[in-house]
Amino acid sequence: MRILVHTTGSSPDPWIAEIRNEFPQAQVRAWHEGDNDLADYAIVWKPPLAMLQQHSELKAVFNVGAGVDAIVEFGDALPKDLPIVRLDDAGMGVQMAEYVTHAVLRYFRRLNEFDMQNRAAQWRFLKPHDKKNFAVGILGLGVLGTQIARALAHFGFPINGWSRTKKDVPGVRCYSGPAGLDEFLRVSRVLVCVLPLTAETAGLLNELVLGKLPQGAYVINVARGAHLVEEDLLKLVQNGHIAGATLDVFREEPLPPAHPFWQESRITITPHIAALTLRGDSVRQIAGKIRALERGEPIAGIVDRIRGY
């Protein structure tokens, strides 16, 4: 078996070592421009289009992340029947649940405001928020969104969820499709975005949509920067409609030093770390799927390229 590896932004070597542990007999090699030798599988992060075009013989391309937008955006330029496989949780769900729960609790318990008081040496009581009027709305009820919902439900928050198709998730008031969006927004005090980036979801978090949240709502984006129209959020924070935001993803990453978000104390910024790819868990999941494919069995996580995720 021949496995090609290309991980934009980091060295492929630790991946190659981990994959060799799973498949000691396989030829595992880093892809380089002009590599035209045949391969059976590819394991990639943000691969160049040329790599995929040169290897239309691949039985599957495994993306070492949940979001496949950086591959799907190649559209028809990709070899027609090349299966693209996303990571299914692989340790990211619990990280997402931790990150979002922390951000929600920090805002709900007014810890962001206490932080500011600390810096001014102020001892001042702030009236607690009322949990029953503090519903958390989760955009995206997939692998990660459902784990966020489960974690927050533990603390007794009312939970709303929005998905493309209709869902029935215990403990979650479920909304779906464009027709369900307005009511979902109207009743959500905190908005969490954990959608895939597709033609339908790009720019969804704009002034019109965020303006439908209740006055004083809080925004958490852990999906992709291009979901958010950044200047619209800034305007709504500055005019007080949105109380603040926790953002892990940005249109340009790293976020440039001159970006106005850095100057806005109501916006908390993290460098795309909400849910990191765990190499060991990911390679074990991918190896299990390769073995299933070699036995002729179906696997989960194949991306629908028309749908975009």
Contact, 244 vs 112, CB < 8 A? yes
Using alpha carbons, list the distances in angstroms from residue 239 to 182, 242, 243, 262.
21, 8, 9, 17
Residues pairing with 206 in the sheet: none
Binding track over 6-45 against ligand NAP, x by CB under 6 A: ----------------------------------------
**Which of ligand NAP, ligand GLV, none interacts with 239 (beta carbon under 5 to 8 A by kind)?**
none
**Which of ligand NAP, ligand GLV, none interacts with 244 (beta carbon under 5 to 8 A by kind)?**
none
Q: Does 92 bind ligand NAP (CB under 6 A)?
A: yes
Catalytic pick from 129, 150, 272, 284?
Answer: 272
3-class DSSP assignment, residue 269:
strand
Using alpha carbons, list the distances in angstroms from residue 78 to 2, 70, 103, 108, 294.
20, 12, 38, 45, 23
Give the one residue of 28, 236, 275, 290 binding ligand NAP; rule: CB under 6 A. Answer: 275
Residues pairing with 76 in the sheet: none
Backbone angles phi, psi at 116, to 5 degrees: -65, -40
Contact set for ligand GLV, span 62-101 (CB under 6 A):
65-67
Give the one residue of 141, 149, 152, 283 binding ligand NAP; rule: CB under 6 A. Answer: 141
Catalytic pick from 106, 224, 227, 266?
Answer: 224
Binding track over 277-296 against ligand GLV, x by CB under 6 A: x-------------------
**Which of ligand GLV, ligand NAP, none interacts with 165 (beta carbon under 5 to 8 A by kind)?**
ligand NAP
Backbone angles phi, psi at 207, to 5 degrees: -60, -40
- 212: Cβ contacts below 8 Å, ≥ 6 apart: 182, 185, 186
> Around 120, how many Cα atoms within 13 Å sit in the side-chain half-sphere?
7
- Report the alpha-carbon distance of residue 213 to residue 190 in Å, rounded: 8
Give the one residue of 145, 188, 205, 290 binding ligand NAP; rule: CB under 6 A. Answer: 145
Contact set for ligand NAP, span 94-123 (CB under 6 A):
none
Q: Which helix (H) or strand (E) holds 92?
A: helix 92-108
Contact, 70 vs 46, CB < 8 A? yes
Please identify, among the stretches 5-13, 44-52, 76-84, 197-205, the one whose residues bind ligand NAP according to the rule CB under 6 A: 197-205
- Residue 272 among the catalytic residues: yes
**Closer residue to ligand NAP in complex, CB, 4/220:** 220
Q: Quote the least distance from Cβ 277 to ligand GLV, whole Å.
A: 6
Q: Please tell me whether the peptide bond between 158 and the residue prior to it is cis, using omega within 30 degrees of 0.
A: no
Q: Measuring CA to CA, which residue among 7, 50, 48, 46 is closest to residue 30?
A: 7
- Residue 305 among the catalytic residues: no
**Closer residue to ligand GLV in complex, CB, 67/308:** 67
**Which of ligand NAP, ligand GLV, none interacts with 205 (beta carbon under 5 to 8 A by kind)?**
none
So which residues are the catalytic ones?
224, 272
Judged by the rule CB under 6 A, the positions of this chain that interact with ligand NAP are: 66-67, 92, 140-145, 162-165, 194-198, 200-201, 222-224, 248-249, 272, 274-275, 309
Please report, as ranges, the residues that interact with ligand GLV according to CB under 6 A.
Answer: 65-67, 277
